[in-house]
Each structure stands twice: as C-alpha cells, then as structure tokens.
Amino acid sequence: MEIKCKRELNLQKHYQKISMSKIQVNNVYKIFGNSPLEVLPMVKEGANKEDILEKTGHTVGLDNVSISVEEGETFVCMGLSGSGKSTLIRHLNRLIDPTDGEVFVDGTNVMKLNEQELIEFRKHKMSMVFQRFGLFPHKTVIQNVGYGLEIQGKVLKERNIVAMEQIESVGLQGFENQYPNQLSGGMQQRVGLARALATNPEILLMDEAFSALDPLIRSDMQQQLIELQTKLKKTIVFITHDLDESLRLGDHIGILNGGRLVQVGTPEQIIMNPADDYVEAFVKDVNRAKVLKAKTVMIKANQFDTSQIKLAEVFKVNEGVYIEEFLPKVLADNSTIMVVDNKGDTKGYITSKELAISLSKTGYNESSKIN
Amino acid sequence: MFRKYKKYLNFGFFLIFIILLVVSYNSSKRKPDSVGELLTNFKWLNDFPKWLDAPFMVWINNGWRSFSEKYGLIFDSIGYVLLRSYSEIKNFLVNVPWPIIVIAVVLLTFYASGRKIGTTIFVGFCTFSIGFLNPRFWDKAIETTTIVFIGILLCLIVGLPVGIAMARNPKVRNAILPILDLMQVIPAFCYLIPGIILFGLGAIPAIIGIFIYSCPPLIRLTDLGIRLVDKEIIEAAESFGASRKQKLWGVQLPLALPNIMQGINQCTMMALAMVVVASMIGTRGLGDEVLLGLQQLNVGASLEAGLAIVLLAIVFDRITQAYGDKMQERTQPSKALPKN
C-alpha cells in the first residue's frame, strides 16, 4: 500500500514536472518604492497605477503578470517604454526580486534559491543579452565571449576554444583580439550574442537586444537569430518595443501595458483579434502580408467548393508561407492558391476574396460598395 | 523597520540634549545663585549666558589623558614601526648617488606613462631642477618624498577597502561620509598637536596628519568610481552568475581604476600640502626650508624652497596622472584608438 502511494506521489511529481512550462511566471507583482509591501494590497485590489503614484509615491512595475513559455519557443514580450517589460525579464534570473509572486524555471522556484544556488542557477540555466550590449570594455572580444566560462571556472585554453567557435558562428572571426569599443554597434551585439551562447544555456534572455541598432543591421541580426534558433532550439524570451520585430521572431507574443499583461497569443491571433484599443493601436500599421501565414487565412479544404476553380490556375504553397510571397500571383493572374502541409497533403484554399478579408483592417463585406 | 524606531531616536536625542543642558548648568561656575533668578531677571536673554557652557573641553581633556595613559604603548609601537620604516627608506635613498635617482625617476615615468617621451623628459628635468635650485634641497626633497610615500601607503591600505565597502553598502557609506567630512574640515593643527603628544616631534605626526588629511579624496573617488560603473555591465556580470568577489575584482575595480588613480593623484597632492604645514611641528624636509626662510624674513630662500615643492608636486602629479591616463586607455580603448 505504502509502496503504491510512494509511486503515485512520484508519478504526481513527474506529472507536475512535465505539465509545467519551461518558464512559468505566476501572478508576479513588482512595486518600486520605499515600502512596497504596504502598497501591495492596494495594487491587488486593482487600484490605478497613476493613483498609486499620487497617493503613495510608489511606482507599479508589474501588476499581476503571469506568463508561461514552452521549451524551444521564442516568447516575445512587447510594450512601450515604461510598460515593465525590462522589469519582467529581470525577474526570470532574479536580477530583480518581485514584490509578490512566483517564478518557476524548469520546475525550480527561482524565488526560493539562496545566494549560492542562485549563482549556480545563473551560471548554467540562462544567459542574457542587453540593449546597450553590456560588454566589458576592458576585455577583448574573445575574453568577453569567454566570460561566462571564466565564471564557471573553466581554464583559459578550454574557454578560448569555445569562445572562438561562438565568434565564428556569429561571423566575427578576425576581430577576437579587438576591444568592444573598436567595433560597430551591430558587431558589438553579435559579441553579446556569442557571449550569451558560449555557456550553452537552455534559456536565452534578450532585453531589447536589437533596439539600439539601425534598421538594416537590426533586420540582419533578426535573420541571424532566426537561423541560430532553427539550429539550436533554445528557449528564448525576447523583449522589444517593435511590433514588426516581435511578429517576426515570436512564436508567442505577450503585450504589456503599464505593467499589466494585456494579451498573449500567436502573431496571427494578435493581428486578427487584438484584445483592446491599446493592442489595436499597435497592430494598426502592421503590414499584414508580412505577418499572416497561408495557414491562417485559408479556407479549409472540406469547406471549399473545388468545382469553381480551374486546375491550370492553381498554385501550390506550403502552409507556413507568408501571404506576401504569393500575393502578386493571386492579384495578377487571379489564380487560386492550394495550401499544402509539409507532407504535401492539401489543407485548404485561398482565393482573392480570402486575401481581401485578411489584409484589410475592417474585413471584407460583400454588400458594402465603394462610392 | 527603521522607521518604527525613528521617532524614538529623535526623542532620545532630545533627552540627551536636555540632560546636557542641565549638566552644563550645574557644572558651570558662573551660574546665578538660584534657578528662580532666571525667571525674574531676564538679562540672560541679551548676551549668550556664561553658564550655558557645555563642558566638552573638560571631558575631552580628561578622556584624552586617560586614553594616552592607557593606550600610549600601542601608539609607541605604531610610531616605532613608522619611524623605523621612514628612517630606513630615507637613509637608503639619501645614500644613493643622485644621478641614479634621477635615472630611476625617468625610467619609472617612461613605463608608467606608456612610453611617452615628452612627459618623461619633462619629469626628468623637474627632478634634476630640485637639486639645481639649491643642492641642500636634494636630501630634504628625499625626506619629504619618504614621508609622503609612507603616508600614501597608509592611505591606500585603509582607503581602498573603505571605499570599496562604501560602494557596496549604502549604510556603510552613510556612516562613513560624515567622518570623511570631519577629517577634511577639521583644521590640521587640531590633530597635529595631539599627534605630537602621542608620537613626539618629527616625521610620525606628519605621516598621521597626511593620512587624516589626504585619505578622504581617495576613499570618495574609489567609492564613486565603483558606483559609476555602467549598471548594465554589472547586470551582465551578475547574469552570468558572477559572485560578489568575481564582480569586484573582474569588473568593478578594473573599470573604476581611472577614478581610483585620480584619487591617488589627489591624495599625493594633498599629502604634499600637508607636509609643508607639518614642518611647523618640527618635521624636516622642504617645508622646513620654507619655514626657515620665513623666520629669517628671507623671501628669496622661502620662495626657492616653495618652488622646489612645486617641482616635487609636478613630478608626483605627472607620474600618477600619466599612469591613470594609461589605465583609462586600457579600459576605454576608443579614446586612444581610432574606430574601425
């Protein structure tokens, strides 16, 4: 009987472990000020951020934020400055302690770690990339990249080998003996990325990593990150204030406003169903063709009347392809798109009508006429 | 948690003040015949009354006497160590032929400044000129240098750890800052004279004076330098799991080094200023010469000696400053090298 109980308990534990996401943030509050604990009940009752600032002089950084990030996905946290996104990411490796709430990484309660355990946790579990790069100006590129390993106590030879590999993987070979200030912004951030990857962490925290870069280099870096991610399959938490960036990189996006989590969803969900005015204002100017995938806009194969179309005009695309890529084909040749999955099975169809519905903000209404 | 006790603290201060008032009234010899007189005769409101005199002087004197009786031995031993090291270094340097010292200074400058020829030649010339002004000055300058050197060593041994502790803990900073203010503001003679009582005339009270007078800027600049290190760089170190020790030695101190060097430079300059003042309590050295010139109303002699001190100051300043600049170049290479 006892044995059975134990086994059940173990199973339960195991179940808990697998049921839990890679990173789980539960009801985290963060209040900045002299006595945050006294203000906490007020925040919990749902008082306004501005009121609290006026009455108590405390700033609410995070207000009941809960997120969960699955293993191997890129979670983008988006919001304007002051929305608490940088505060949130610093809770994950406890650079900031929450006023209330729990943070679990791999089922470990980060809040319960003592100083020594926290150091071990930071050494191996996750590493961070910073907005203004956070490179050590007194160390060369290779020393910077090897820093995490240095902290782990690896010998110089070993860490130089690993650092060199990482430097090559971000395409900076030949610069390893330069100092950070001798490099351009884009190169510096690639050093930052290489440094974060050098310890081979399971989780990568990127705090507005590309925000300080100019648009061309930013897009370049995004591409590089996507390529790295397809190879490495890390769990990435990415902070940005740029919607295009978040749509491009994120598997899931969480939108923060004034410390509150407004909406969480896939890029398509955010675009198609913005939760409130704030999100809608964000989404308004997005180029939908670049964000929506064929999968999202198609009509399922069983609901589509195939008799109308001529086979000659049918054009096959993969379900993961963005609208942008087949949009000209549909408009110019009036062809029908057949959406297939990776195995080649037909999943659905797209005609110019579906495109029109998905691309406009208000949607397409057959009865409305343009005067 | 502190707030809870804050009002009690203020109340306590008030109580102490009242007790102090009563004690000073009772211990005063010039108090009126009875307390009642104060209420009938209000003359005491005109001039500050003579009986309102806190007897600090008596307390300090009594305390000082028992202090020097009890702990005199400790100060004797400290004084002995300082005096011994002072005379050893001084005797060694005085016995070294002067050209070798000039060459040594030149070599030191050359390497400290990162092989800057201009600075090196200038410093070498200044060193030579000290003796050139008046051959008597050479040995005196060596005496002064030795005192300054030991004083600064003392400052470094105490100042750096204190500065680091202040940067790491705001409570320590709040506790130490008033002490630093006190050290800087209190007139030099107020601690030079007790120094004589504890250590006797000569170099030792001067070294102690230098320590009290020139340690604060070093402590302040160390503290500031460490706190000014970019927060994101500190976060980066933390995010990789650096311990407090690793953070301090690997990141904070190297990046604070230019500021710390500036602190050492300031420390040196203030030490030189103090060494001149200390000549008035019988410290030998260049300050001695200035004092001699003044006592004889020999303007030429005192100015000459003053100039020698300036030259010595320039030598110290250039060497420490050049070294600081070199540090800065190493920690912030963009300032020295063109961008790619």
Q: Would residue B238 count as lying in a domain?
A: yes
Domain count, chain B: 1
pLDDT, greater one: B236 or A370: B236
Assess whether A94 and A210 both reside in one domain: yes
- Count of domains in chain A? 2
Give residue B192's pLDDT: 87
pLDDT of amino acid A362: 60
Share of chain B residues as helix, strand and coil, in percent rounded to the nearest 5: 85, 0, 15
Say if residue A115 is in the same domain as residue A217.
yes
Give the mean pLDDT of chain B.
88
The residues, ordered by sequence, that sit 6+ positions from A108 with a Cβ below 8 Å of its Cβ are A121
Tell which residue, B152, B153, B166, has the closest CA to residue B248. B166
Contact B240 A199 (CB under 8 A): yes
Percent of chain B with pLDDT strictly greater than 90: 53
Residue B61 inside a domain? The answer is: no
Q: Average the pLDDT over B158-184 and give the result.
A: 94
Say if residue B2's pLDDT is above 80.
no
pLDDT(A366) > 60: no
Is A260 in the same domain as A303?
A: no
What pLDDT, on the 0 to 100 scale, is given for residue A311?
66
Question: What is the pLDDT averaged over residues A5-30?
Answer: 67
pLDDT single digits (tens) B71-128 = 888 888 988 999 999 999 999 999 999 999 999 999 999 998 888 899 999 999 999 9
Is the pLDDT at A371 greater than 50, yes or no? no
Maximum Cα–Cα distance for chain A, whole Å?
79
Task: Scan for tokens 């993961």, then name that residue.
Answer: A320
- Model pLDDT for residues B204-237, shown as the tens digit of each residue: 899 999 999 999 999 999 999 999 999 999 999 9
Interface contact flag, B236 A120, Cβ < 8 Å: no
Residue A271 belongs to some domain of the structure:
yes
pLDDT band at A359 (very low <50, low <70, confident <90, very high): confident
List residues bridging with A236 in a β-sheet: A74, A204
Q: Tell me how far apart the alpha carbons of residues A76 and B190 are, in angstroms, rounded to a whole number.
A: 64
Residue A171 DSSP SS3: coil
Stretch A359-371: mean pLDDT, rounded?
Answer: 54
pLDDT tens figures, A45-87: 888 888 888 888 888 899 999 999 999 999 999 988 888 899 9
Q: Is the confidence at residue A188, as pLDDT, over 90?
A: yes
Task: Find the mean pLDDT for residues B333-340.
Answer: 44
- Examine residue B210 and state whether it is found in any structural domain, yes or no: yes
The tens digit of pLDDT for each residue in A103-140 reads 999 888 988 899 999 999 999 999 999 999 999 998 99
- The Cα A115–Cα A253 span in angstroms is 32
Indicate whether B39 belongs to any domain. no
Q: Do A181 and B332 touch (CB under 8 A)?
A: yes
From B233, B241, B339, residue closest to A151, measured CB to CB = B241
Asked if residue A350 belongs to a domain, the reply is yes
What φ, ψ does residue A190 adopt, rounded to 5°?
-70, -35
Q: Where does residue B272 rank: exposed (0-12), middle (13-18), buried (19+ CB within 10 A)?
A: buried
User: In degrees, to the nearest 5, what angle opens at C-alpha B104 toward C-alphas B98 and B108?
Assistant: 150
Which B residues, 120 through 159, put their C-beta within 8 Å of a C-beta on chain A? none
pLDDT at B3: 61
Residue in A with minimal Cα distance to B249: A151
Domain with B242, as residue range(s), is: 67-331
Instruction: Specify the pLDDT at position A312.
Output: 65
The H or E element containing residue A305 is none
* Domain region containing A312: 292-359
Nearest Cβ partner for A127 among B240, B251, B334: B240
Residues A300 and A344 grouped into a single domain: yes
How far apart CA B302 and CA B236 sit, in angstroms, is: 56
Q: Which amino acid is at B94?
A: V
Q: Which amino acid is at A195?
A: R
Has residue B336 been placed in a domain?
A: no
Band the pLDDT of B336: cuts 50, 70, 90: very low
DSSP type of residue A365 = -
Q: Greater confidence, A324 or B301?
A: B301
CB contacts of A133 in chain B (<8 Å) are: 232
Residue A182 parent element (H or E): none
Tell me which residue in B3, B235, B241 faces A134 most closely, judged by beta carbons. B235
Residue B156 placed within a domain: yes
Examine residue B35 and state whether it is found in any structural domain, yes or no.
no
Q: Is the pLDDT of residue B321 over 80?
A: yes
Under DSSP, is residue B219 helix (H, G, I), strand (E, B) or coil? helix
Q: Residue B239: which CATH number?
A: 1.10.3720.10
Interchain CB distance below 8 Å, B340 and A132: no
Q: What is the pLDDT of residue B340?
A: 37
Q: Mean pLDDT over residues A193-202, rounded?
A: 92
- Residues A141-149 have a mean pLDDT of 94
User: Which is it for strands A203-207 and A235-240: parallel, antiparallel or unpaired?
Assistant: parallel
Indicate if the alpha-carbon torsion angle A310, A315, A320, A326 is positive or negative: negative
CA–CA separation, A294 and A319 (whole Å): 5
- Considering the domain architecture, whether residues A120 and A245 belong to the same structural domain is answered as yes
**pLDDT confidence of residue B222:** 95
- Residues 6+ away with beta carbon under 8 Å from A80: A241, A257
User: Do residues A313 and A337 share a domain?
Assistant: yes
Q: Is the pLDDT of residue B335 over 50?
A: no
End-to-end Cα separation, chain B, in angstroms: 54
CATH code assigned at A306 = 3.90.1280.20
Question: If you ran DSSP here, which 8-state letter would residue A293 be given?
Answer: B
Q: CA–CA separation, B238 vs B257, rounded Å? A: 20
> Is residue A312 domain-resident?
yes
Could you tell me the CATH number of the domain that includes residue A109? Answer: 3.40.50.300
What is the per-residue pLDDT for B124?
93
The pLDDT value recorded for residue A361 is 62
Nearest-by-Cβ selection for B331 from A118, A138, A150:
A138
Task: Kindly list the residues from chain B whose CB atom is less than 8 angstroms away from the CB atom of residue A137.
Answer: 233, 255, 331-333
pLDDT at A216 over 60: yes
Chain A and chain B share a number of CB contacts under 8 A equal to 82
Burial of A172 (0-12, 13-18, 19+ CB in 10 A): buried
Q: Quick one: A31 and A90 in the same domain?
A: yes
Q: How confident is the model at residue A203 (pLDDT cuts 50, 70, 90)?
A: very high
* Backbone angle region of A153, left / alpha / beta, with phi > 0 → left and psi within -120 to 50 → alpha: left
The whole-number average pLDDT for the span A303-313 is 71
Question: What pLDDT score does A310 carry?
Answer: 67
Rounded Cα–Cα distance for residues A282 and B52 (Å): 73
CA distance A135 to A214: 19
Residue A280 and residue A327 in one domain: no
Asked whether residue B98 is assigned to any structural domain, the reply reads yes
Q: Does residue A214 lie within any of the structural domains?
A: yes
Task: Tell me the DSSP string of A4-18.
Answer: HHHHHHHHHHHHHHH
* Same structural domain, A282 and A305: no
Same domain, A220 and A343: no
Residue among A21, A148, A134, A38 nearest A86 (CA): A134
Cβ contact A151–B339 (<8 Å):
no
Q: Are A227 and A260 in a shared domain?
A: yes
- Residue B190 confidence class, pLDDT cut points 50, 70, 90: confident
Of A243-247, A310-314, B39-43, the one with minimum mean pLDDT is: A310-314
Which amino acid is residue A26, in one-letter code? N
Long-range contacts of B174-177 (CB under 8 A, 24+ apart): B176/B219
Domain end: A244, A269, A286, which one?
A286
Mark which residues 249-288 of B lie under 8 Å from A by CB.
250-251, 254-255
For the cut 60, the answer to whether the pLDDT of residue A8 exceeds it is: no
Q: Indicate if A37 and A90 belong to the same structural domain.
A: yes
Tell me whether residues A184 and B340 touch, CB distance under 8 A: yes
Backbone torsion region of residue A208, taken as left when φ is above 0, otherwise alpha when ψ lies between -120 and 50, otherwise beta: left
| Length of chain A measured in residues | 371
What are the tokens at B98? 């002067």
